[in-house]
Structure 1
Amino acid sequence: MARRSNKSAGTYYFAIMVSVCCCVLFVLSISPMGAVDVNNLFSYRYDNISDGQYWRIITGNLLHTNLWHLLMNLAGFWVILFLHEMHYKGSANKFISLFLSLCVFEGLGLYFFYPELKGYVGLSGLLHGLFTFGALLDIRKGYFSGYLLLIGVFTKVGYEMYFGASESVSAIINARVATESHFIGVISGLLCGLVWLPLTRFFKHNKTITS
């Protein structure tokens, strides 16, 4: 029982580490005495990535435009984690791998499919992917709510892509809401689900046979 509890705690330790990292980067970005220009060094910038600064594909997800942007994203991150915590209990490595995969897919998706988007920061795209993946796990477990969550996120992103994001949200975060990132996030979550879940079943099946 203790071993299982420790594994479950690992997911939350990682979530705390991500939250702290986002907060530290934000404080550094607004500090007038900062030795490093965090935004200039780590934000997603298409032209810089084209020049070989590939770390921006991941690190851009961890930066934020202002305090409200940071708080909104971190609140969403924890709400989604608690919403689907039953899927990640006892599997910290699964959650960590999922988070990093979504970071990479988000950055690559924006780079290859939206080259006109020259700059981007924030967790919101990744959160849409995490939410979508969690909905797929719900469906796999036989929860009808998973279908509702999936329809809900599809509807939200479809509305944003067609009509645009709320102007009030843009005003709060002091930047245009990158609806492209939300769309890429949903696609990334679907890709992770379509690849990951069959592989999980495959390895479980083989483990059962060998044991």
Structure 2
Amino acid sequence: MFTRTESFSEYIRFYPMVTIFLFINIVVFLITLLPGIGYIVLDSGMGINYLIADGEWWRFITPMFLHGGFMHILFNMFCLFVFGPELEKLTGKMRFTTLFMLTGIFANVATYFFQDLSYAHLGASGAIFGMFGAFGALVYYTKHAMPQLRQIILPIIVISVIMTFVGPNINVTAHITGLVVGFLIGLSYFNPKRILSWKNR
């Protein structure tokens, strides 16, 4: 179900929005490694609450495409690479894009309201957890009809939530908000006809 067997060209053709998000995140990360300009990009795009309060509203969006280190981007892009295609195939390009962007933005907005003004954050984790939440909605609708999906997704969600609370330097607010918003959006996306079509494929 989540095993990627496509060739590089097939992956790009079948999952264009996942590919675009992967490309943007990887390219931006490589830019942030460059001397001089890398610091400028990070400083201009990080979610820094007191700067958002001063009117720099773009920081609700830009943190989704910035990462603080190799392991940070590796985890997020691995999840997007593996789990994103099935979600894009199921929901379609526009709905997948909407889900990814909205969950990431809501995660950043929640961080602004629930963390203090000095708080700074970055990463696509809110949107990644949004994907997990959407799959959780699919599991909710299918219940026992798709046991393989249930056996894969539920442990991933549980482990991810546990790691959110025990790992260092993790934006708990963004993770949980992304998960909840993704679940709610997933509830609005999925219907029996769409689920049956995806299951038959």
TM-score (norm 1): 0.72
Partner of 2:177: 184
Structure 2 counterpart of 1:59, one-letter code: T
Find the aligned partners of 1:187 and 1:46 in 2 and give their Cα distance. Answer: 22
Find the aligned partners of 1:183 and 1:99 in 2 and give their Cα distance. Answer: 15
Tell me the CA shift for residue 31 of structure 1.
Answer: 0.8
Find the aligned partners of 2:89 and 2:117 in 1 and give their Cα distance. Answer: 39
Tell me the CA shift for residue 136 of structure 1.
Answer: 1.0
CA, structure 1 residues 31+113, in 2 after alignment: closer, same or farther (shift >3 Å)?
Answer: same
Tell me the CA shift for residue 190 of structure 1.
Answer: 2.4
Find the aligned partners of 2:88 and 2:31 in 1 and give their Cα distance. Answer: 31
1:59 to 2:59 alignment: no
Which one of 72, 82, 88 corresponds to residue 79 of structure 1? Answer: 82
Tell me the CA shift for residue 158 of structure 1.
Answer: 5.0
CA, structure 1 residues 145+84, in 2 after alignment: closer, same or farther (shift >3 Å)?
Answer: farther
Which one of 42, 47, 51 corresponds to residue 50 of structure 2? Answer: 47
Find the aligned partners of 2:158 and 2:39 in 1 and give their Cα distance. Answer: 39
Does the 8 Å CA contact 1:139/1:146 hold for their aligned counterparts?
A: no
Q: Which structure 1 residue ranges, 5 or more long, are not aligned? A: 1-7, 171-175, 205-211
Following superposition of structure 1 onto structure 2, how do residues 96-135 of structure 1 map, counting pairs within 5 Å?
A: 96-115=97-116, 118-135=119-136
Find the aligned partners of 1:158 and 1:93 in 2 and give their Cα distance. Answer: 31
Tell me the CA shift for residue 85 of structure 1.
Answer: 5.1
Find the aligned partners of 1:41 and 1:85 in 2 and give their Cα distance. Answer: 30
Render the CA deviation track for 1:68-95: whole Å, top value 9, x for unaligned: 221221111111114545523xx21111
Following superposition of structure 1 onto structure 2, how do residues 5-44 of structure 1 map, counting pairs within 5 Å?
A: 12-34=15-37, 37-44=40-47
CA, structure 1 residues 138+67, in 2 after alignment: closer, same or farther (shift >3 Å)?
Answer: same
Structure 1 counterpart of 2:37, one-letter code: G
Q: Which structure 2 residue ranges, 5 or more long, are not aligned? A: 1-10, 195-201
Bigger radius of gyration: 1
CA, structure 1 residues 37+140, in 2 after alignment: closer, same or farther (shift >3 Å)?
Answer: same
